[in-house]
Structures are given as structure tokens and as C-alpha cells.
A and B are shown apart, each in its own frame.
Chain A
Amino acid sequence: MARSVNVDVKYLTRVEGHGNIVVNVKDGIVEECRLDIVEAPRFFEAMLRGRSIFEAQHITSRICGICACGHTISSIAAAEDAIGFTPSEQTTKLRKILLYQEMLDSHILHIYLLVAPDLLGVPSFVPLIDTHGNVVKRALRMKKACNDVCAVLAGRHIHPISSIVGGFTKIPGEKELDAMLDILYDMRPDMDSTVELIKTLAPAIPVFERETEYVALVTDDDEYPTLEGDLGSSDGLRLDKSEYLKITNEFVMPHSSAKHAKASRKSYMTGALARFNINSEKLNPKAKAVADALGMKPPIINPYMNTAAQLVECMHYMEESIAILEDLKANGTDQSEAITVGLNERNDIKVNKGLGVGAVEVPRGLLFHSYEVDETGKIENANCIIPTSQNVNNIEHDMSKLIHEILDKPDEEITLMFEMLVRAYDPCISCSAHFLDVEFINR
């Protein structure tokens, strides 16, 4: 029997930022499947023009509180690429810790506070305070631990202070390394309990499959790539990061309402599941064990499993942070690398004219920053493409397929399935940048 469904979820809760889901089925025919973004535009790229490249990190970190370290690192990578600066090995290690801690922090928030309530059938984590007090406490404790590591390393997690173009303005000494290690050693039992919890909840993860292209950083070495690498895909694409617009191509043509091809297909997915599908053999052994325990083998084409991939990554990022810190502790940190930069008043950092790209894996997927600077370091052009704007297209394609599979379900169930799908992608709609995937319909 042909059926009509009209789902209109306004102000999707428990995703960062504001999204509306619109699904319109008339007599069994899908007329519309849309994820609307109703976030107020913030115009970061426009505001950067004319400013010093040494301010780019400070400003773009404020695109998103959750991904502050990710924006920081991607912005710095783009800026250093543009002015022709190569960071030291120690700097790269410290940046990885920041990035890993943010991934961990964000994934924990997503798994516990945003997804677990769905799997337990409650509206939010608040009722869980009474029914699952220890679980909520553990989540908050783990989140705080990640924050505390970032605070020791960079002053704070939300808008880190000491991580700037050129390196770090303060280098952790032995005391700080120990403090960070202690926090992370203490986190280990909580991580094990988290894995146990998700194992018991995993059967509640919806089963829905759709083949798509997965995009993530790829490298030839054996480290799970996050900070450096080429752009790769499950369809065999491999491009230098400077060619990022070939993957996200439709975003450079905001005035064109025509749909442009993305990567190799209509849409692609970026994020934890994409990274898992492409790079799982490079995961830390303990993370591999988590994947095995959950029966996960790539390729996994169920987008709801993004949450499970995040859990696998949690173990990876915690263990890899510990490994870097132990290495720094064993070899000692070089305090003389601490930099004093400000607006580069002292010209300590040599600036060349150029165009640079930062392509960095952040919790929700690939994040691109790109700057063009003149010979004084003045920003002439800026661009930023966040993971969610790459994923929206893929979410809509998922929705279009999913609706046919659940048409016979009651409206509330359909609505919940859609909400859960969007939440699985962990969209960060509060991020300023472009949302041009959303067609410019009359709003």
C-alpha cells in the first residue's frame, strides 16, 4: 500500500549546531529528503582577509568549540605551508597529542551523551544520571581527563593557547609529561569499561547498509594518519593535499546551484568510519582488539556503525598519546624550542608569499584550511571546508535509501531512525563554513 510520511524535525537536538530534517513521502514516492542547516552564517573566511597570518589560528579556532584543536592544527598546517615553514619533530609530536586528545574527547561526548541515550531509549543523558549514575560519571570523568591533558599541554582545550604557527610558546617539561601520563594511565580502566558498555549496547545499533565512497588521509608508512598524508578514498583515489578542491569541488562554486560530482561518486563519507575502512590495519593493537570484539571488519557500509568506529579510535588515540608521551619522557623535551611570536614583530619566523593547504583528520572527518598570503604575511584569501559539509550530501543519500526500507514503520519510529542517522555522523553544524550541499531553496 502506498503510504505518505511527513517528517519535519526542527532544531535537531543533541547534534552540535542546528539542523532540520525534512522528509516528504507522498503515496510511496519520495518527494523530498533533506537535511537543512539553519545555523547563522559566520563569515570567517571573509573576516580573515587583510589580517596577519599569525592571527589565523587564534581566529579560526573559534569556528568550533568542540574541534578547537582540530581547527588550530589544520589552520597552522595551512599557514606554515603558505609561508614556507617546516615544524620540528618535537612540535609535530606535541600537535599529535593535542589532536588525539580532541578526537578522544569529542568521541566520548558523542558516544556517551549523544548516542547512548538513543540506544538506551531515553531522551537525553539527564535521566541517565538517576538510572545509570556511574556511566554518566565515567563519561564526564573521561571528558574532563582529555580536557586536562590539553590544559597541561596548551593552556586549555577550548581554544588552545600555546599551539601557534611556528611551534609551541611553552614546552612541557618532565613534570607536565608526568601529569599528562598520570591522567591517561588513570583513564585506561574507564576505557575498558566503555568498551564493555558499548559491547552490550551494540545490538541496538540499527542495521542499514549503503555502499558509498570513503575519504580519509592515506600514507605509505605504518602510522594511522591524522596530521599528515595524501587524500585517499576507498575507490582508489589518491591526491596531494594541495588538490583538495578536486574532492570537495562543488564547494568552490557557491554561486552555482548545479550539483557537481564529488570525489568519484555522488557523495562520500569522511570521519571515523571512513578512517577505519581505509586505515584499520594501522590501528594500535589494543584498538584492533576492540574492533575484533565488536566483530568489525572493513569495509563496513552501515553509517550507524560510525559510533562503533569512534569507540575503536578512542582506544587508539588514548594508547598512541601515551606512547608519544612516554617517548618524550624517555628522551626529554627540548625547552629551547619554545617560541615567542605574537604578530611576528621580531621577524623570528621567515615569511614567504604563497598558498598553503592544511588537511587534517579531526573527529568528524577531513578538515581543510587554505590561505593565500603576500610577502608580508597578510592574508589575501582564506578557505575552510569542514567535515560536516562534506558529509551532508552522503547523509541525504542515506536518508533517501533508508526511507524505502522503513516506510511501513510508524512515524515516530521513522523520525527516530532519521535523527539517529544524522546523529551517527556526529554533525558539527555550528561550524561556520559553507553548507552549500543544502540546495538554496527558499528559506
Chain B
Amino acid sequence: MKRKTVAFFDFTCCEGCQLQVANFGEELLDILAAIDVVMFREVMSEKSDEYDVAIIEGSITTPHDVERIKEIRETATTVIALGSCASIGGINGMKNSFKLEDVQSYVYGEDGKNYFETIPTMAVHQVVDVDYFVHGCPIYPPEFVKILKYALQGLPYTVKDEAVCVECKLNENECMYEKGLTCLGPITKAGCNSWCINYGNICYGCRGMVKETTKNASIDVIKKYDIPMDWIMGKFDMYNKATESEEKK
């Protein structure tokens, strides 16, 4: 079988998810042997306009991004959204809680604000069709390898609609609520092996919300804790603002 040509593209993001891939170490060479990487701007000068699989990192935040992602979709047979910026809008979505004009002038000043075009943050699938989603900020490497294998074989893959709490309980962590903290585990998609709680932190919701979301119930629970209401809403918005209208789907 001919090796699939794969190209990486980065849009608005920290490029941490591409780096997670580069950080596979020597295992990276095994992955590279199974595919033919034709573009990986961060580490390669080579460029190509032809590829089978496009791996997209980052959110869509400028009119130019919209044009570029459409062109990529036309070229590629398979599109993979890599990381939460691409898969749910992620951290860049926080911008959507403000007026665009306000964020622009805050950072670039009254005169500078118009020099950088920006539009409300969108996940990739809000602009073009996406075939595979790799959630996480950053991606969880074992899940990426699994999804890549499915994608290369053209098999469908869907992320289980189950909360981080399921994995967290299996890992026998003491629940953050018992320790007096609030945690987004109950409404966040599993798949990261409850990464943050294993290391003593709370879940920030980076993998997006479970579909059967119990957001309102969670808000009621969190309300009992000593934090202001807008901070509670801020917690939900940190990763999920760009795609919040899709919660009920």
C-alpha cells in the first residue's frame, strides 16, 4: 500500500500539540516511517501542495484563516483536528466573551487595533467538515496515536461520551469536591486518563463537554462553593466558549 502523504498546518494556537507529536522521541521515526510527511513547517523547510491527510492545529480567528482552511479541505481527503484549539475552539474562544473591538484596543491600542484583523474564534468544524477529532490541550499522546491509526485505515472513530470522572475514579484519586475544590471533571469528555487530577490539580475542561451535558446541575453544585458567579461561568468558558451553541446537539 502506498504510504499516505500527511501535512501539518497550524492556525491560531501555541503549537504545543504539534510539539507533542515531535516529542515522541525515537518513536517519532516509527510514525514517520508509516506515513510520508510532506509538510511540517515547524521543523521542515520543504513545502507541498499535495497531501492525503491534513492535520490541523489551532483555531480559525482571521478571515485569511477561513480561506486557508477551505483550500486545505478541498485538497485533503482526510482532515484531522489536532488539539482543543482546532477541535472545540479551546482557549482562544475566551476572546468571544468580549467585544472584538475591546480586545483589539486593549492589546494594540486605539491606533493599532485595526492593523490585525480578527473574527470570533471558531473550531475547524465550524468552517469545514472534519473527519477526526483529537481533543485536549495539549493532546494526550496515546490517544493521538490511536486516532492516527484509525485515520490512516479510513476507519471511523468517535470519542466516547463519558466524563473525566469515570477515569478519575478508576485512578482512585480523592475527589476534588471532597477536598473543597470545584472541578470540571463531571462535564468534560474523558480520554486523557484524568491527567490533571492525577497530578493534584483540578480538571479545567480542556477536552470539551460531554453531550448529555449536566452543565446546569454542575453550576448548582459549584454555586455552593465560595467563588463568585462570573468566575464559575468563566470556568465553563475557558475552553468551551467558541462551541457553546453546540452543547445541546
Of listed A59, A126, A137, A257, residue having the most chain B CB within 10 A: A126
CA distance A141 to B199 in the complex (A): 25
- The reply to whether the CB of B158 lies closer than 8 angstroms to some CB of chain A is no
CA distance A68 to B138 in the complex (A): 11
B107:A158 contact, CB within 8 angstroms: no
B199:A161 contact, CB within 8 angstroms: yes
CA distance A58 to B45 in the complex (A): 32
A63:B227 contact, CB within 8 angstroms: no
- The reply to whether the CB of A443 lies closer than 8 angstroms to some CB of chain B is yes
Q: Which residues of B contact A46 (CB under 8 A)?
A: 95, 98, 102-104, 106-107
Q: Which residues of B contact A409 (CB under 8 A)?
A: none
List which B11-57 residues lie within 8 A (CB) of chain A. 11-20, 22-26, 28-29, 32, 37, 41-47
Question: Smallest Cβ distance from A264 to chain B, in angstroms?
Answer: 25
Contacting B107 at CB < 8 Å: which of A43, A117, A345, A430?
A43
Question: Known: A41-B118, A347-B226. Contact between A129 and B32, CB under 8 A?
Answer: yes
A42:B12 contact, CB within 8 angstroms: yes
Of listed A46, A64, A440, residue having the most chain B CB within 10 A: A46
Q: Which residues of A contact B45 (CB under 8 A)?
A: 13-14, 117, 123-124
Question: Known: A16-B15, A40-B65. Contact between A137 and B104, CB under 8 A?
Answer: no
- The reply to whether the CB of B129 lies closer than 8 angstroms to some CB of chain A is no
Question: Known: A14-B43, A124-B44. Contact between A169 and B25, CB under 8 A?
Answer: no
- The reply to whether the CB of A436 lies closer than 8 angstroms to some CB of chain B is yes
| Residue of B whose beta carbon sits closest to that of A340 | B179
Main secondary structure of the interface of A (DSSP, over half): loop
B230:A40 contact, CB within 8 angstroms: no
Contacting A345 at CB < 8 Å: which of B15, B26, B182?
B182
List which B82-115 residues lie within 8 A (CB) of chain A. 90-92, 94-95, 97-98, 102-104, 106-112, 115
A254:B23 contact, CB within 8 angstroms: no
B14:A43 contact, CB within 8 angstroms: no
B17:A255 contact, CB within 8 angstroms: no
Q: Which residues of B contact A161 (CB under 8 A)?
A: 195-196, 199-201
B201:A343 contact, CB within 8 angstroms: no
Among B145-153, B163-171, B213-221, B231-239, the stretch that binds chain A is: B231-239
Question: Smallest Cβ distance from B134 to chain A, in angstroms?
Answer: 14
Question: Known: A14-B42, A64-B14. Contact between A170 and B29, CB under 8 A?
Answer: no
Q: Which residues of B contact A63 (CB under 8 A)?
A: 14
Q: Which residues of A contact B10 (CB under 8 A)?
A: 430
B19:A158 contact, CB within 8 angstroms: yes
Q: Which residues of B contact A403 (CB under 8 A)?
A: none
Q: Which residues of B contact A156 (CB under 8 A)?
A: 138, 195
- The reply to whether the CB of A114 lies closer than 8 angstroms to some CB of chain B is yes
B227:A137 contact, CB within 8 angstroms: no
The contact string, 1 if C-beta is below 8 Å from chain B, for chain A 147-171, is: 1000000111111011010001110
List which A23-57 residues lie within 8 A (CB) of chain B. 40-43, 45-47, 49-52, 55
Question: Smallest Cβ distance from A40 to chain B, in angstroms?
Answer: 4
Question: Smallest Cβ distance from A249 to chain B, in angstroms?
Answer: 14
B43:A430 contact, CB within 8 angstroms: no
Question: Smallest Cβ distance from A377 to chain B, in angstroms?
Answer: 9
Q: Which residues of A contact B104 (CB under 8 A)?
A: 41, 43, 46
User: How many B residues, CB 8 Å from partner?
Assistant: 75
List which A166-192 residues lie within 8 A (CB) of chain B. 168-170
Q: Which residues of B contact A241 (CB under 8 A)?
A: none
CA distance A169 to B181 in the complex (A): 13
Q: Which residues of B contact A64 (CB under 8 A)?
A: 14-16
Question: Smallest Cβ distance from B169 to chain A, in angstroms?
Answer: 19
Q: Which residues of B contact A170 (CB under 8 A)?
A: 199-200
CA distance A66 to B112 in the complex (A): 28
- The reply to whether the CB of A266 lies closer than 8 angstroms to some CB of chain B is no
A68:B14 contact, CB within 8 angstroms: yes
Contacting B235 at CB < 8 Å: which of A157, A253, A343?
A343
Q: Which residues of A contact B204 (CB under 8 A)?
A: 58
| Residue of A whose beta carbon sits closest to that of B231 | A52
Q: Size band of the A side of the interface?
A: 35 or more
Q: Which residues of B contact A45 (CB under 8 A)?
A: 106-107
A41:B108 contact, CB within 8 angstroms: yes
A154:B110 contact, CB within 8 angstroms: no
CA distance A430 to B93 in the complex (A): 17
CA distance A168 to B90 in the complex (A): 25
Q: Which residues of A contact B90 (CB under 8 A)?
A: 62
Question: Smallest Cβ distance from A95 to chain B, in angstroms?
Answer: 15
- The reply to whether the CB of A342 lies closer than 8 angstroms to some CB of chain B is yes
CA distance A435 to B92 in the complex (A): 18
Q: Which residues of A contact B176 (CB under 8 A)?
A: 342
- The reply to whether the CB of A143 lies closer than 8 angstroms to some CB of chain B is yes
Contacting B118 at CB < 8 Å: which of A40, A162, A254?
A40
| Residue of A whose beta carbon sits closest to that of B38 | A126
Q: Which residues of A contact B110 (CB under 8 A)?
A: 255
Q: Which residues of B contact A41 (CB under 8 A)?
A: 104, 107-108, 116, 118
A158:B16 contact, CB within 8 angstroms: yes
Q: Which residues of A contact B18 (CB under 8 A)?
A: 65
Question: Known: A46-B102, A443-B115. Contact between A434 and B108, CB under 8 A?
Answer: yes
Contacting A40 at CB < 8 Å: which of B11, B102, B198?
B11
CA distance A154 to B176 in the complex (A): 18
- The reply to whether the CB of A86 lies closer than 8 angstroms to some CB of chain B is no
CA distance A13 to B39 in the complex (A): 10
B44:A123 contact, CB within 8 angstroms: yes
Q: List 19 A-B contacts (CB under 8 A).
A: A11-B41, A40-B65, A40-B118, A43-B95, A43-B103, A43-B104, A50-B230, A51-B231, A52-B227, A65-B18, A124-B44, A144-B23, A156-B138, A254-B109, A254-B112, A342-B202, A343-B235, A345-B227, A434-B107
Top-7 shortest CB links A-B: A65-B16, A169-B200, A144-B25, A255-B109, A342-B181, A254-B109, A155-B199
Known: A156-B195, A345-B227, A430-B15. 9 other contacts (CB 8 A): A43-B106, A46-B98, A59-B94, A62-B91, A144-B25, A169-B201, A256-B111, A338-B200, A346-B181
Residues of B within 8 A of A (CB): 10-20, 22-26, 28-29, 32, 37, 41-47, 61-62, 65, 90-92, 94-95, 97-98, 102-104, 106-112, 115-116, 118, 137-138, 176, 179-183, 195-196, 198-202, 204, 225-228, 230-231, 234-235, 238
